[in-house]
Chain A
Amino acid sequence: MPISSAYHHDRCALHLDGPLTIYEARQSKQRLLDELNLARELDIDLAGVSEFDTAGMQILLLLKREAGRLDKPLRFLGHSKAVLAVLDLYNLAGVFGDPVVLASGDEA
């Protein structure tokens, strides 16, 4: 999946675009972990995630846990419908600790 990153000082804003599923899982995991390691602060915009499954969710869980371990602020923003549906089903919205908001047109 295309992941675009924009740096603002040490703060990195990532935009995920397209599916985040088992088919892309290995690549996406590596890319996101690399970004987390580079940045001091990380915002991940999920508004463009068109497909999302358990493999995708495990990656977000892994990132969240890693960010905690590295003590780096990580925020997930603009959860797309696909993402929200899975988080709801797994009752995990709370675990991410973010204000879960519906994807909207404006950038976070």
Chain B
Amino acid sequence: MNLEAAKQVFYEESEELLAAMEAALLAVETSSGTQRAEHLNAMFRAAHTIKGSAGLFDLGEMVAFTHRCESLLDRLRENELALTADLIELLFACRDHMSAMLAAVHDKRAMPYSAALEAQLDAYLNQPADSSALPPARRPEAQVERQGSGEHGVASDYWHISLRFGPDVLRNGMDPISFVRYLGSLGRIVYITTLYDALPEPDQMDAESCYLGLEIQFAAAAHVDKLAIENVFDFIRDDSNVRILPPHAHIADYVRLIKEMPEGASRLGEILVRGGALTPLELDEVLGIQREQAEAGEHRQLGELLVEERLAPPQAVEAALDKQREQVAHKTREHRAVRVDAARLDGLIDLVGELVIAGAASQLFAKQIGNATLLESLSSLSELVERIRDEALSLRMVPVGDIFSRFPRVVRDAARELGKDIQLELAGEDTELDKSMVDKLGDPLLHLVRNAIDHGIESSELRRQRGKADYGTVWLNAYHESGSVVIEVGDDGGGMQRERIRVRAIERGLLGADEVIGDQALLQMVFEPGFSTADNVTSLSGRGVGMDVVKRNIEAMKGNIEIESMPGEGTVVRLRMPLTLAIIDGFQVALGKSTFVIPLDMVLECLDLPADTVAANRHYLNLRGEVLPFLNLRQLFEVGGIAPQRQAVVVVQYGSHRAGLVVDRLEGELQAVIKPLGQLFRGVKGLAGSTILGSGAVALILDVPDLIQRAAIDEQRRLAVSSQQEAKRLSLREENTR
């Protein structure tokens, strides 16, 4: 770990805190009472923590700004200021400014500065409090004394430090040993006298209390001043008696010192002389003055005035603490999180992948040897490996809520900008997907959400006309479905206007003027480059990426995108993403001498290929009354040799589509570590990757979504051909009948 790494953590953590602050800001508007207090507290804590960390990295400007935010939030917390809509706006702006500052630090750019923001903050900070707040109590300072009669200084070149420790210093963990040691680091301890006169009778003595006093002659190092010496005793000054006299302090100072210490003038005087603070002559003078004053009735002992302020905690607290302690173990299990560099995680997953392969190889060899005991122990080993694999993969998984959380703010801002009333509903935030995908999904989702707000949701009047609620609803939903993660962006707006898409598609030459096209295919047109049906480009969605970029981004992650839209009722854009990219449970099949792997979670069932299907040269099966198109993989991949007598069909599903894949043999389940395709196969369609089998042989992983699409297209083409033939036949017949 080094400072740069810590800085990285600082960025991430600050981002999280700013996100939490934003969530609290969004929620605080509509909250009240303890809930509101909690939100304010969360915001305060965010600013407070960022300030604290920024200080560590010496980010002065950031500390100064966050400090003002913190102070403002503190005033809000204390109800000194009322939380108005303007103030909430200001806090939003402050949050954004902090975020900008953070980005500047990260990119090593100049710190942004906003005079307007600072002025607004100052205006609130200088506003008098609603209720009168008492100024914070000042701690009494240790005094360096120089007053009274006896105006001339003593001969000693050293500082003199008198300490009488409070009874609780040891119990508080403040052992005088450590302070004396620390003092030693600021110079030289010339002489030290330990006073234990206050040690009581054995039965009176509490072994945990401190009864000591110290008289120290101290030669300070060159740079050490009064304040530095005072600071040594910061932590005990409140309950101990600390007197610091500079070199050549006045006689009068020593008079006061002796007067205030509990040991008595002659005893302390003797100690001061022995330590070298006073010469015998000086002591005589001190004692003389002291006697005069004592006779004048001024004598008092400070020791008597020492106050014992701490109280034993009441029994009720004890009981409450016991309960809290019970919860400790439970709570920590819930909240403990470890930050790990993503690269290290990937490294681990790579290794686990190798482990899976090595495990499979061992099992294969064991099978060849035929040693039952070995096989048994290897099988329990592979069970463990499987569990490690699952655990390791789950480490990469993060809840999709991590992306969703930015959208309340997006929707709020966009709605304001467009003057629309829009509510956002989030569902399935706990759905997990691969971390690397989470990072890449942010922008596409942002675009889709903005689109929904801008183009989807109608104006309030139109909504009223259509008998809908005044406020529009945009929702984000995520769930798992057959080995994929589905993310939906939906709205209850006007739906996509098919006529307009059609017109635009014809304009752009994507569609013939009279061409008939399926509904889904028409909707898919919006993903064509440069396609926009918006009448006017707004500042919101008209900028930045188009839908074509969204689609490309999704497909780059091996996901796909589909649109469902009902006129007048709304639109749902559905993203279907693979769960993970590293290791899959696979189903192994063989074609001739080659082995292929089908992702297991896409496999529905396996059956024998009916002989009549082959004979009839049909390309679809009757699967319990349902037409199932199938692909002959032998043909597709041009596998040599002759097909066996009986072939098998693997029924696969992706989304709502199904297809059958015809293979030679079924070889059972395996774990496949996905490796990229070699150069040789890169251009081949229908392959998603490769994997290494336990035997060391390479197997190819099938790209099921692609194959299903192919099967569907083939089927359509064949249908089209046959209907054309049908049409030809009909027209021939017509001609004949003429």
Interface residues of A (CB under 8 A from B): 22, 25-26, 28-29, 33, 53-55, 58-59, 61-62, 65-66, 86, 89-92, 95
- Are A58 and B212 in touch, CB under 8 angstroms? yes
B196 CB, min distance to chain A CBs, angstroms? 5
Q: Mark B200-244, 1 if CB is under 8 A from A, else 0.
A: 001001111011101000000000000000000000000000000
- Are A89 and B170 in touch, CB under 8 angstroms? no
- In the complex with contacts A33-B202, A54-B176, A91-B191 CB distance below 8 A: yes
Q: Mark B321-333, 1 if CB is under 8 A from A, else 0.
A: 0000000000000
- Are A61 and B175 in touch, CB under 8 angstroms? no
Q: Mark B500-524, 1 if CB is under 8 A from A, else 0.
A: 0000000000000000000000000
A89: contacting residue among B177, B196, B202, CB under 8 A: B177
Given the complex of chains A and B, what is the CA–CA distance between A95 and B175 in angstroms?
Answer: 20
B194 proximity list for chain A (CB < 8 A): 90-92, 95
**B192 at the A/B interface (Cβ < 8 Å)?**
yes
- Are A26 and B208 in touch, CB under 8 angstroms? yes
A22: contacting residue among B191, B193, B196, B208, CB under 8 A: B208
- Are B180 and A55 in touch, CB under 8 angstroms? no
Can you give 21 contacting A-B residue pairs, CB < 8 Å? Answer: A22-B207, A25-B207, A28-B207, A29-B202, A29-B207, A33-B202, A53-B175, A54-B177, A55-B208, A55-B210, A58-B196, A58-B199, A58-B205, A58-B210, A62-B202, A62-B205, A66-B202, A89-B177, A89-B192, A90-B194, A92-B194
B196 proximity list for chain A (CB < 8 A): 58, 61
What DSSP secondary structure best describes chain B's contact surface?
A: loop
Given the complex of chains A and B, what is the CA–CA distance between A99 and B171 in angstroms?
Answer: 32
- Are B177 and A86 in touch, CB under 8 angstroms? yes
Q: Find residues 686-728 in chain B having any chain A CB closer than 8 Å to their own CB.
A: none
B278 CB, min distance to chain A CBs, angstroms? 18
**B181 at the A/B interface (Cβ < 8 Å)?**
yes
A54 proximity list for chain B (CB < 8 A): 170, 175-177, 210, 212
B181: contacting residue among A65, A89, A95, CB under 8 A: A89
- Are A90 and B207 in touch, CB under 8 angstroms? no
B199: contacting residue among A25, A53, A61, A89, CB under 8 A: A61
Given the complex of chains A and B, what is the CA–CA distance between A55 and B168 in angstroms?
Answer: 11
B208 proximity list for chain A (CB < 8 A): 22, 25-26, 55
3 pairs of A and B residues whose beta carbons are closest in the complex: A25-B207, A29-B207, A90-B194
Given the complex of chains A and B, what is the CA–CA distance between A22 and B202 in angstroms?
Answer: 16
- Are B170 and A22 in touch, CB under 8 angstroms? yes
- Are A58 and B211 in touch, CB under 8 angstroms? yes
Given the complex of chains A and B, what is the CA–CA distance between A90 and B210 in angstroms?
Answer: 14
Most buried by B among A25, A66, A90: A90
A28 proximity list for chain B (CB < 8 A): 207
- In the complex with contacts A29-B207, A66-B202, A90-B192 CB distance below 8 A: yes
Closest to B206 in A: A26
Given the complex of chains A and B, what is the CA–CA distance between A92 and B177 in angstroms?
Answer: 13
- Are A55 and B192 in touch, CB under 8 angstroms? no
Given the complex of chains A and B, what is the CA–CA distance between A26 and B194 in angstroms?
Answer: 22
Given the complex of chains A and B, what is the CA–CA distance between A26 and B170 in angstroms?
Answer: 13
B184 CB, min distance to chain A CBs, angstroms? 9
B176 proximity list for chain A (CB < 8 A): 54
Given the complex of chains A and B, what is the CA–CA distance between A59 and B180 in angstroms?
Answer: 20
- Are A91 and B192 in touch, CB under 8 angstroms? yes
- Are A62 and B199 in touch, CB under 8 angstroms? yes
Closest to B174 in A: A54
A53 proximity list for chain B (CB < 8 A): 170, 175, 177
B45 CB, min distance to chain A CBs, angstroms? 35
Closest to A24 in B: B207
Given the complex of chains A and B, what is the CA–CA distance between A33 and B207 in angstroms?
Answer: 12
A90 proximity list for chain B (CB < 8 A): 177, 180, 192, 194, 214
B202 proximity list for chain A (CB < 8 A): 29, 33, 62, 66
A61 proximity list for chain B (CB < 8 A): 196, 199
- In the complex with contacts A66-B202, A91-B193, A59-B207 CB distance below 8 A: yes
A91 proximity list for chain B (CB < 8 A): 191-194
A28 CB, min distance to chain B CBs, angstroms? 7
Q: Find residues 155-177 in chain B having any chain A CB closer than 8 Å to their own CB.
A: 170-171, 175-177
B210 proximity list for chain A (CB < 8 A): 54-55, 58
Given the complex of chains A and B, what is the CA–CA distance between A29 and B199 in angstroms?
Answer: 13
Closest to B216 in A: A91
A52 CB, min distance to chain B CBs, angstroms? 9
- Are A26 and B177 in touch, CB under 8 angstroms? no
- In the complex with contacts A25-B208, A28-B207, A65-B199, A55-B191 CB distance below 8 A: no
Q: Find residues 537-552 in chain B having any chain A CB closer than 8 Å to their own CB.
A: none
A66 proximity list for chain B (CB < 8 A): 202
- Are A89 and B180 in touch, CB under 8 angstroms? yes
B212 proximity list for chain A (CB < 8 A): 54, 58
Closest to A88 in B: B192
A57 CB, min distance to chain B CBs, angstroms? 9
- Are A29 and B175 in touch, CB under 8 angstroms? no
- Are A22 and B205 in touch, CB under 8 angstroms? no
Most buried by A among B175, B177, B207, B210: B207
Given the complex of chains A and B, what is the CA–CA distance between A86 and B192 in angstroms?
Answer: 13
Closest to B211 in A: A58
Given the complex of chains A and B, what is the CA–CA distance between A29 and B205 in angstroms?
Answer: 9
- Are A55 and B177 in touch, CB under 8 angstroms? no
B496 CB, min distance to chain A CBs, angstroms? 75
Closest to A37 in B: B202
Most buried by A among B181, B191, B202, B205: B202
A86 proximity list for chain B (CB < 8 A): 177
Closest to B200 in A: A62
A100 CB, min distance to chain B CBs, angstroms? 15
A78 CB, min distance to chain B CBs, angstroms? 21
Given the complex of chains A and B, what is the CA–CA distance between A33 and B202 in angstroms?
Answer: 8
B177 proximity list for chain A (CB < 8 A): 53-54, 86, 89-90
Given the complex of chains A and B, what is the CA–CA distance between A57 and B263 in angstroms?
Answer: 20
- Are B193 and A55 in touch, CB under 8 angstroms? no
Closest to A61 in B: B196
B181 CB, min distance to chain A CBs, angstroms? 7
Given the complex of chains A and B, what is the CA–CA distance between A62 and B201 in angstroms?
Answer: 8
Closest to A52 in B: B177
Given the complex of chains A and B, what is the CA–CA distance between A66 and B175 in angstroms?
Answer: 24
B613 CB, min distance to chain A CBs, angstroms? 84
Identify 10 new A-B residue pairs, CB closer than 8 A, beyond the known A22-B171, A58-B205: A25-B207, A29-B202, A33-B202, A53-B170, A58-B207, A62-B205, A89-B180, A90-B177, A90-B194, A91-B194
B207 proximity list for chain A (CB < 8 A): 22, 25-26, 28-29, 55, 58-59
Given the complex of chains A and B, what is the CA–CA distance between A65 and B202 in angstroms?
Answer: 10
Given the complex of chains A and B, what is the CA–CA distance between A58 and B199 in angstroms?
Answer: 8
Most buried by A among B175, B180, B181, B193: B175
Q: Find residues 182-201 in chain B having any chain A CB closer than 8 Å to their own CB.
A: 191-194, 196, 199
A25 proximity list for chain B (CB < 8 A): 207-208
Given the complex of chains A and B, what is the CA–CA distance between A25 and B214 in angstroms?
Answer: 21
Given the complex of chains A and B, what is the CA–CA distance between A54 and B210 in angstroms?
Answer: 8
Closest to A53 in B: B175
A55 proximity list for chain B (CB < 8 A): 170, 207-208, 210
B193 proximity list for chain A (CB < 8 A): 91
